[in-house]
Amino acid sequence: MPDRASFPPPSIDATQTLLTGAGYVPDRALATVLHLALRMGRPLLLEGEAGVGKTEVARTLARALGRRLIRLQCYEGLDLAGAAYEWNYPAQMIAIRLAEAAGESDKAEIASGVFSERYLQRRPLLEALMPDPAGPPVLLIDELDRTDEAFEAFLLEVLSDFQISIPELGTVKAEHPPIIILTSNRTREIHDALKRRCLYHWVDYPSAERELEILRARLPQVPQALSRQVVAFVQALRREDLFKVPGVAETLDWAAALVELDAVAVDPALAQDTLGVLLKYQDDIARTDAAAISRLLDEARHAAGRIA
């Protein structure tokens, strides 16, 4: 792991090495935009299909830097109470009743006491602004497109000023801004106001060479010949007319599954039996019948030898 003095990485190559050393194999474009985000202290918005490795960038970066990863998993209906903070109302009520029982009558003083940090429950956005001895954390705001558009407005203050305004308490501002990575599967467009506060990168499916490199880095126990065949088959499968083609996560899962089955090569029966590791929709599985699998395996056998 690099020491804190190496942050931010001094070059694009150093950024690429940082991630590669922690098991993530970025292409040059991703390493460049991440390097710029770290050097400029700007949030980074990663968009792309599900399963291409967007979330893993944040996980790997936190691991490589020795920083805490704070994850805000977005969903429809997410609000400020779930994302930033909320007051501990039961504890506040108990405090008020105890104060009244003790004969305290100054309402302003009682209100000041119960709206203090003691009764504040931090959620991921606020937690990411707190000081950390290990250094500012990596804040992952995952699958932003799952939230309502109105929720994006909550994020603008955090993304531009690294602070949150709490009406009863004041403004909480990070002494050292967190590293912020947002991801979106692009099921809807993210608002321009939010995009302007971020650097942006589209994460695509990897080339066969890079996918093989990823597989080797993440699952070194998979035999080399099997790794090439797995990658070549998945690359061929992605060219099929499917509702949802497999991502890198599925490639890794399939390779791990084949190792669990003590496979050293993929044959048509094994591919058919394990297709559910790669494809998650019944229509896609039904479309990939025995004839399609034989054709894809033939393509994979010819392509595997050409993957460096």
Q: How far apart are CA 308 and CA 2, in angstroms?
A: 29
Q: Please list, in sequence order, all residues whose beta carbon lies within 8 angstroms of the beta carbon of residue 109, skipping any fewer than 6 positions away.
A: none
Q: How far apart are CA 186 and CA 188, in angstroms?
A: 5
For residue range 212-260, list pLDDT tens digits in order: 999 999 999 999 999 999 999 999 999 999 999 999 999 999 999 999 9
**pTM of the full structure:** 0.88
Q: How far apart are CA 142 and CA 144, in angstroms?
A: 6
176-179 contacts, C-beta under 8 A, 24 or more apart: 176/131, 176/135, 176/136, 177/41, 177/136, 178/70, 178/128, 178/129, 178/136, 178/137, 178/138, 178/139, 179/37, 179/38, 179/61, 179/65, 179/67, 179/136, 179/137, 179/138, 179/139
Angle between helices 208-218 and 224-237 (to 10 degrees): 130
Percent of the chain with pLDDT over 70: 98
One digit per residue, pLDDT tens: the chain, 308 residues? 444 547 899 999 999 999 999 989 999 999 999 999 999 999 999 999 998 999 999 999 999 999 999 999 999 999 989 999 999 999 999 988 888 888 877 877 777 788 888 999 999 999 999 999 999 999 999 999 999 888 999 899 999 999 999 998 899 999 999 999 999 999 999 999 999 999 999 999 999 999 999 999 999 999 999 999 999 999 999 999 999 999 999 999 999 999 999 999 999 999 999 999 999 999 999 999 999 999 999 999 988 878 76
Indicate the domain borders of the chain: 12-80+121-203, 85-118, 208-305
State the CATH class of domain 12-80+121-203: alpha beta
Q: 3-class SS at 182?
A: strand
